[in-house]
Amino acid sequence: MPYGSRLAATMTRRLGRECVYTPSARLALYLALRRWCRPGARVLMSPLNDDVILFVVLAAALRPVLAPVSVWDGNIDPAAVPESTWRNVDAVLTTNLYGMPDHVVELRRHCEALGIPLFEDAAHAIGTHVDGQPIGTFGKAAAFSLSKHVAGMAGGFLAVDDARTRRELELLRDDLLTPRSLATDLATTLRPLARSAAHTLHLVRPVWRTLQRLGLLERDGFRMDLHAPLLAACAGRAPSLTAYEPWVRVDLHGYRSRHGSLVRGQLALRMAGLDRDLTRRRAGVSLLSGTTWASPALHERAEHDGLPALFRVPLLVDDRDALVERLVRHSVVSGYVYDPPLDDYAGAEFVELSPDPSAARWFAAHVLPADPLLAHRIAGALTRERATTAHPSVPAPVPEATPPAILGH
Ligand SMILES: Cc1ncc(COP(=O)(O)O)c(C=O)c1O
């Protein structure tokens, strides 16, 4: 049986698509990019994404072309992508940032018209639908991350259309996997348990501060150090995961490890709890969407497809950086802040800059990604900290379905 096929079968039943198991979503995305894009191809993507994904695209020997985004959810704004850019891209990669869906129907229409593949990064979006159809079923291939969905610290899938493509990708994956080690498997199994213990014992704040002081976090700020000269020197070796390893492995060193049954067994158990988890997420989204800080995009979403079970709820706040610091006092560690946008982080040497990065800059500087599983704690902490709602200075059209009354907390 192919590696991870039991987990893949569970995902196939959920999604209705053929799935390849991978130890991470980043490896799943790399597989898709390698399978469908020739080296040198240009990939349209949002500048508001994990830096790791930028490095995955570079490792596949591709050129990231940064798109304009919506100021309300940080995803690609297809209508603002210039015609000249559409004519010059070879693929599109969505983000579904925090679980808020991309304009996937419109993007697919563009891709079909141009005859280019659409890749869905569904790492944040297992609980999101568009027109009743799950994210991850619109594009040529879609990557999912169990680290995000079930806090597994490992695991992912690449969803594709047919069994023949799946088998082909399984072989490509097997070539990229590194051998299993019991020590890595134990660490991968124990880390999520240690994390829930820290939460249960209210140790989040001291543990986080200690890691910070000891320099054990892989990022000093919201983004990792680019090490531009070293990165530039790798270009000649791409496509190669090995060349880009120091960047691609950040936060998940086992991203290409052939984990054994200990890790996969734990992931199977966690996947069995996924629907319960999504229900809890939806309840947290419901609470946070009724606060003054919720992005109006959330209300528009709720109007169309009901409340999504988001990975994080995009709240828009003034003085976001100071708030992130102060929230640690309330045992809330805010991750997944992608600031600055990739235009400013990587520059023209590594990416093609978007025509107007102002919406991306504004969103990146004001979004507070709130874990819906901690909705009560976060809403209480923001109230105590007197957080104020951020409004873009350049008026942007508010999504249609802004609710008539927005409650404060
Ligand atoms: C948008 C997005 N896509 C993909 C990934 C990669 O997921 P994984 O850690 O499973 O490789 C991340 C990681 O944070 C992410 O934020």
| Band (53; pLDDT cuts 50, 70, 90) | very high
User: 191 Cβ partners below 8 Å, 6+ apart?
Assistant: 153
**Ranges assigned E (strand) in 248-366:** 313-316
Per DSSP bridges, beta strands 91-93 and 63-66 are: unpaired
Bond preceding residue 47 cis, omega within 30 of 0: no
Residue 132 lies in a domain: no
pLDDT at position 104: 98
Mutate to test the pocket of ligand 1, among 22, 48, 145, 176 (most ligand atoms within 8 A of CB): 145
Q: Is the pLDDT assigned to residue 404 strictly greater than 50?
A: no
Q: Whose CA is nearest to atom 13 of ligand 1?
A: 50
Write out the residue range of the structural domain in which residue 332 sits: 274-384
Q: Is the pLDDT assigned to residue 407 strictly greater than 80?
A: no
Predicted confidence (pLDDT) per residue in 119-128, tens digit: 999 999 998 9
Residue 2 DSSP SS3: coil
Q: Whose CA is nearest to atom 4 of ligand 1?
A: 123
Q: Is the pLDDT assigned to residue 207 strictly greater than 90?
A: no
The answer to whether 332 touches 377, Cβ cutoff 8 Å, is yes
Mean pLDDT of 72-80: 98
Spell 171-184 as b/e; 16+ CB within 10 A means b: ebbeebbeebeeeb
The label of the residue with tokens 């501060």 reads 209
pLDDT at position 68: 98
* 148 CA closest ligand 1 atom index: 10
pLDDT at position 189: 73
Predicted confidence (pLDDT) per residue in 277-295, tens digit: 999 999 999 999 999 999 9
Residue 337 lies in a domain: yes
Q: Supply the CATH number for residue 317's domain.
A: 3.90.1150.10
The answer to whether 80 touches 59, Cβ cutoff 8 Å, is no
Ligand 1 centroid to Cα of residue 356, in Å, is 25
Q: Is the pLDDT assigned to residue 409 strictly greater than 60?
A: no
Ligand 1 centroid to Cα of residue 213, in Å, is 25
The answer to whether 208 touches 328, Cβ cutoff 8 Å, is yes
Per DSSP bridges, beta strands 367-370 and 313-316 are: antiparallel
Residue 114 lies in a domain: no
pLDDT at position 403: 41
Residues within a 6 A CB radius of ligand 1? 24-26, 49-50, 52-53, 95, 121, 123-124, 145, 147, 156, 252, 255
* 121 CA closest ligand 1 atom index: 3
The answer to whether 274 touches 13, Cβ cutoff 8 Å, is no
Ligand 1 centroid to Cα of residue 409, in Å, is 31
Ligand 1 centroid to Cα of residue 370, in Å, is 17
- 365/183: higher pLDDT: 365
Mutate to test the pocket of ligand 1, among 46, 49, 52, 76 (most ligand atoms within 8 A of CB): 52
> Chain-centre distance of CA 259, in angstroms?
22
Ligand 1 centroid to Cα of residue 123, in Å, is 6
pLDDT at position 319: 98
Residue 253 lies in a domain: no
* 154 CA closest ligand 1 atom index: 10
Listed residue (223, 240, 201) closest to 344, CA to CA: 223
> Chain-centre distance of CA 342, in angstroms?
14
Predicted confidence (pLDDT) per residue in 317-374, tens digit: 999 999 999 999 999 989 999 999 999 999 999 999 999 999 999 999 999 999 999 9
Q: What percent of the chain has pLDDT over 90?
A: 81
Please tell me the total count of domains within the chain.
1
What average pLDDT does the structure give for the chain? 92
| Band (406; pLDDT cuts 50, 70, 90) | very low
pLDDT at position 235: 97
Mean pLDDT of 55-69: 98
Predicted confidence (pLDDT) per residue in 221-273, tens digit: 899 999 999 999 999 999 999 999 999 999 899 999 999 999 999 999 999 99
Listed range (43-57, 147-161, 197-211, 326-340) with the worst mean pLDDT: 197-211
Q: Is the pLDDT assigned to residue 54 strictly greater than 50?
A: yes
